[in-house]
Structure 1
Amino acid sequence: MQAKAKKIIFIAILLTGCIITSLISTNDKEKTLPVSSLPQSAQSAVISKAAQAKTVRVQVSGAVLEPGIYDVHASCRVEEAIAAAGGMTENADSERVNLVRKVRDGMQIRVPVKKAARTSRTQRKSAQATAGYSASSTKKVGSTRAGAEKNNSAVQIVRINSAGVSELQQLPGIGPALAQRIVDTRSRGRFASVEDLLRVPGIGKAKLAKLRDYVEVD
């Protein structure tokens, strides 16, 4: 009778151990459950959370309040990146920017100025240059140095990060082709200083020295 009782107790202990082992195995499987085996809604939530945690670095320039480099969510749109830079200025041409385009790492987002504003500014500076030249031409030149100073005063300062091709051609020694190369180089990264003009094919140290007094970085 005693032997039978021991046998029953042994069987009970064995069954209990099997049940505990089975429960532990089930929990381990649940912990390591792959995303692909989750319901569709759960998969979307996991993927969305992972995407939000990732950021990319973009450069926002042009007609915005605070141009610069920003880290934004990888899933955000151009509109959100511009908002991070303080938003557009009053003369920004939003119609020429794809605001719903998704950003990517290393992307440069440039907001252009309205064509009417650019044209008005160019015409105003051109009129000022013409008026200055006409006024200086009516005066007698006392010496070569004095004449040079008067010519310099008639030339307007050009902002190399926002000037158009026609405006750049007002600079000494800059023709249509070289002006276009300045714009093309600027589109790949704005000029941080006047010395950055050396990045433009066709502009060397000698030409930069001639341009230095007539240009500025905006």
Structure 2
Amino acid sequence: MIIQKKWLIYALIFLLLFIALLFFQQNRETASVIVEEPVEVVQENLESMDKTIESAILWVDIKGMVQKPGVYQLTEGDRVKDAIQIAGGFVEDADELMVNMAALVHDEMVIYVPMKGEEGEGTYSSQRVMAEEGKVRINTAELNEIMTLPGIGEQKAKSIIEYRETNGKFQSVEDLLQISGIGEKTLERFRDMVIVP
């Protein structure tokens, strides 16, 4: 009788251990599934962050009367003031009044600082690029520049600026169709006059 009780106790202990082992194994598998999903999500987030950082890098050519002319790397949101500072600042004969220090820089921008008394218009290239190429950089253009496009008045130009400030840069010319009042016909009138991105 005592031996039967001992075997019964051993059997119960074995059964409890077996149930505990199954429970532990099931929780372990569930935990591993829970851990794997966030890793993939984090990896996707890191990739999108890398793309964002990559798209935020701008290359700017600084010429003229600065200490160290050359091509410099800046980031989205930097101003001409920041670019001049990176280039070592103005030299003594620089005509600082001819440069709009508050202008936002854009990729492939040329900033030219003229010498005092130099003839011609010395300024950063936002207007200069527009004059040379006859095109508007829609992601950096100011209100008056956007209004030079056929069929774009002040209200539509404001809508374009508001859209890019809210949703980020335009990735293609077709993105302008998202603006209220700009349809296919209007877009065709100025499609070749716009630089995107």
Using the size of structure 2 for normalisation, the TM-score is 0.50
Q: Which residue of 1 aligns with 2:45?
A: 72
Q: Which residue of 1 aligns with 2:189?
A: 210
- What is the letter of the counterpart of residue 44 of structure 2? D
Work out whether 1:53 is the aligned partner of 2:53.
no
> Which structure 1 segments of 5+ residues have no match?
1-6, 35-45, 57-69, 97-113, 130-154
Distance 2:170 2:77 in 1: 23
- What is the letter of the counterpart of residue 88 of structure 1? I
Work out whether 1:178 is the aligned partner of 2:148.
no
Distance 1:192 1:11 in 2: 79
Distance 2:78 2:148 in 1: 29
Q: Which residue of 1 aligns with 2:178?
A: 199
Contact 1:55 1:72 survives alignment (8 Å): yes
> Which structure 2 segments of 5+ residues have no match?
59-72, 80-101, 107-122
- Say which one has the larger Rg: 1
CA distance 1:91–1:29, shift in 2 (3 Å): closer
Number of residue-to-residue matches in the alignment: 141
CA distance 1:27–1:204, shift in 2 (3 Å): closer
Secondary structure of 1:13's counterpart equals: helix
Work out whether 1:23 is the aligned partner of 2:6.
no
Distance 1:29 1:210 in 2: 69
- What is the letter of the counterpart of residue 124 of structure 1? R
Q: Which residue of 1 aligns with 2:87?
A: none
Q: Quote how far apart the aligned CAs of 1:211 are.
A: 1.3
Q: Quote how far apart the aligned CAs of 1:82 are.
A: 3.4
Q: Quote how far apart the aligned CAs of 1:30 are.
A: 4.2
CA distance 1:178–1:205, shift in 2 (3 Å): same
Distance 2:24 2:141 in 1: 62
Work out whether 1:120 is the aligned partner of 2:108.
no
Q: Which residue of 2 aligns with 1:168?
A: 146
* CA-to-aligned-CA distance 1:85-104 (integer Å, 9 cap, x gap): 376222324579xxxxxxxx
Distance 2:129 2:2 in 1: 105
- What is the letter of the counterpart of residue 123 of structure 1? Q
* CA-to-aligned-CA distance 1:60-84 (integer Å, 9 cap, x gap): xxxxxxxxxx9315xx996x6634x
